[in-house]
Amino acid sequence: MRDLQFTLRCCGDGAVRREDFDACMRGAWAYLQPLAGTLTEAARAAAWEALRTGPARELLCFILIQREAFQNEMRKYRLRLNLFDMGMRVAEHCHLSSMSEDADRLAADGRYVEALQDDQVYSYARACALPPAVAHRFGRAIADSIDRFSWSRAPDADAAAAVPPAFAAALADPRVWRLFAAGAVRWTAAAAAAAPTGAVTGPGAPLRIVCRDEGKCLTYAGGMEDCLLNTGYYAAADDDARNAAAAHREKFAATHQTVQREKKRRVETEAADAAAVPFGRMKKKDYLAMLAAKDLKPNKKKPMDSDDEEAEAHMSGGAHMSSSIGGTFPVGEVISESFDLSQLNGVCTVFAYPDPFKNVAFSQPQPFDMVIEAGVVTAVSDGAPDDLVDLLSLVRQAEGKCYVRELGIGLNPYVGIQHPLRDVTSFERQWGVHLSLGQRHPLFVKQSCKRHPDGTPAEAVTIQGP
């Protein structure tokens, strides 16, 4: 991909940088040859010359289309994040195999129209067409409300009912109501003049997730983590430097030297991995050489697994968060979780869950109830599916207790019970609420000790000398 980016930057204005282009970039061109199909050698040569001497070009976007997920096959690379570092816009469509099984069979029989009309294909395409501006407007209204009211601030006065500006903007936006039904969001408290802006003094109003059966409700009373959004809106896309080829090249420079340097480091890293002794003690100089090849330092935390690329983006605070444009589709989700996991209690109705193959399974013949006490799943009602019970048992076997972590609020009206998607990650964007189970969560890292609202440790440690 670096080669391809550099190849295009060598194009245009006749023989600009011809030496670098001819000497180093034919490999990238050869890599692209399968895309040329049945072109004759003469036609390929003509295409090569037209590319080299044609107008200036810049690589700006990648669309990743995956039957499963690239990180499953490329354990050493966080592909989407690497592309972000190159300044690329990235639209990632993963885990498509489970959603395309029926359509693939129809297409194999030549029944292409029926394949395109398959409900999985149709629902996925509609879900990806959710307008980012509308999703962001709607999602920001929910996120700002949760962030504002889950914590009390000083002075508290009577401002607890002040309408967040993002919420008021959503109520007044006609685009929202062209897509969502009346009452999708509404404000019932009396508005006040201003919201308090002082320091956080503790948890605020409990967040309640009420099921269709209003007698079943989850209550988050320990404050909420700052909400994250997946709406397809990316602020960096409005940056002038990202929309002009010359400015983009300056911001994300790529030269022949950088390409060769990356190749060398990759080769050295792979060689170090191959030469690493799996057992026994390594000599210090060998250990330091291995770390240097992997761009690590002694005692530095090892980079996260490629499955944790979202966590890497969240915690790095670097280019991935501030200048990345793109993400996983379909979009439409507000994500948070209880700041104090032990302050989540209640009963909720569950109609779908992931099966052992990470596909969506529905509770038949009817949904079941799940009881949560102090942030832990303690019981499910009679009639809960056997594979769901087995899943909870596996979590308890590995972790002791089955904690409830992420609270996800889906915003995509094109996904739901009437139009389900088999892939769990895609179905999470459905118009509704989902929970994630298990202690580990890459997006929200908990403190190692209890803390006061201001972040200081709540438990003192006293050491007495002789």
- pLDDT of the chain along its 466 residues, tens only? 777 777 777 776 544 455 555 655 666 666 666 555 667 778 877 877 777 777 777 788 889 998 887 766 565 557 888 888 888 899 999 899 999 999 999 999 999 999 999 999 999 999 999 999 999 999 999 999 999 889 887 765 544 557 889 999 999 999 999 998 888 888 887 655 455 666 788 888 899 999 999 999 999 999 999 999 999 998 888 888 788 777 777 778 765 555 556 556 655 655 555 554 443 444 555 556 666 666 665 554 444 443 444 444 333 333 344 568 998 899 999 999 999 999 999 999 999 999 888 899 999 889 999 999 999 999 999 989 999 999 999 999 999 999 999 999 999 999 998 889 999 999 999 999 999 998 865 555 555 555 555 555 555 555 555 5
pTM: 0.76
**What is the model's pLDDT at position 40?**
79
Q: How many domains does the chain have?
A: 2
**What is the model's pLDDT at position 13?**
56
Beta carbons of 147 and 229 less than 8 angstroms apart: no
Same domain, 18 and 163: no
Same domain, 349 and 414: yes
- Looking at 102, 131, 160, which one is the last position of a domain? 131
**What is the model's pLDDT at position 295?**
61
Say which residues have a Cβ less than 8 Å from residue 99's Cβ, sequence separation at least 6: 120, 121, 124, 421, 422, 423, 426
**Which SS3 state, helix, strand or coil, does residue 279 take?**
coil
Beta carbons of 61 and 46 less than 8 angstroms apart: no
Same domain, 2 and 79: yes
User: How far does Cα 135 stand from its chain's mean position?
Assistant: 15
Same domain, 110 and 146: no
Please give the structure tokens belonging to residue 181. 């039904």
21 domain residue, yes or no: yes
Beta carbons of 122 and 160 less than 8 angstroms apart: no
Say which residues have a Cβ less than 8 Å from residue 387's Cβ, sequence separation at least 6: 355, 356, 361
Same domain, 127 and 142: no
Same domain, 114 and 3: yes
83 domain residue, yes or no: yes
The phi, psi pair for 319, rounded to 5°, reads -60, -30
Give the whole-angstrom CA distance, residue 362 versus residue 384. Answer: 10
215 domain residue, yes or no: yes
179 domain residue, yes or no: yes
Same domain, 125 and 138: no
- By DSSP bridging, strand 344-350 and strand 368-373 are antiparallel
**Which SS3 state, helix, strand or coil, does residue 135 take?**
helix
User: How far does Cα 204 stand from its chain's mean position?
Assistant: 28
Burial string for 299-317 (b: 16+ CB within 10 Å, else e) reads: eeeeeeebebbbbbbbeee
- CB burial class (10 A; 0-12, 13-18, 19+) of residue 463? exposed
**Residues 380, 412, 326, 120, CA torsion sign:** positive
The phi, psi pair for 200, rounded to 5°, reads -65, 130
**What is the model's pLDDT at position 297?**
55
**Cis ω before 155 (30° cut-off from 0):** yes
Beta carbons of 141 and 170 less than 8 angstroms apart: yes
The residue among 101, 34, 37 whose CA lies nearest residue 67 is 101
335: left (phi over 0), alpha (psi -120 to 50) or beta: beta
Same domain, 57 and 125: yes
Give the whole-angstrom CA distance, residue 112 versus residue 223. Answer: 51
What type of residue is 243? N
Same domain, 210 and 221: yes
Beta carbons of 200 and 152 less than 8 angstroms apart: yes
The DSSP element (H or E) to which 105 belongs, if any, is helix 97-108
267 domain residue, yes or no: no
Same domain, 405 and 381: yes
User: How far does Cα 22 stand from its chain's mean position?
Assistant: 39
- CB burial class (10 A; 0-12, 13-18, 19+) of residue 188? exposed
Same domain, 97 and 158: no
Same domain, 105 and 147: no
* Residues spanned by the domain of 376: 133-186+193-234+321-437
The alpha carbons of the chain give a radius of gyration, in whole angstroms, of 26
Per DSSP, 413 falls in state T
The residue among 170, 178, 184 whose CA lies nearest residue 141 is 170
87 domain residue, yes or no: yes
Beta carbons of 143 and 185 less than 8 angstroms apart: no
User: How far does Cα 51 stand from its chain's mean position?
Assistant: 35
Say which residues have a Cβ less than 8 Å from residue 423's Cβ, sequence separation at least 6: 95, 96, 98, 99, 358, 359, 360
Say which residues have a Cβ less than 8 Å from residue 187's Cβ, sequence separation at least 6: 163, 167, 171
309 domain residue, yes or no: no
What type of residue is 438? G
265 domain residue, yes or no: no
Give the whole-angstrom CA distance, residue 251 versus residue 242. Answer: 8
User: Quick one: CA torsion of 398, 401, 406, 407, rounded to 10 degrees?
Assistant: 140
Give the whole-angstrom CA distance, residue 163 versus residue 171. Answer: 11
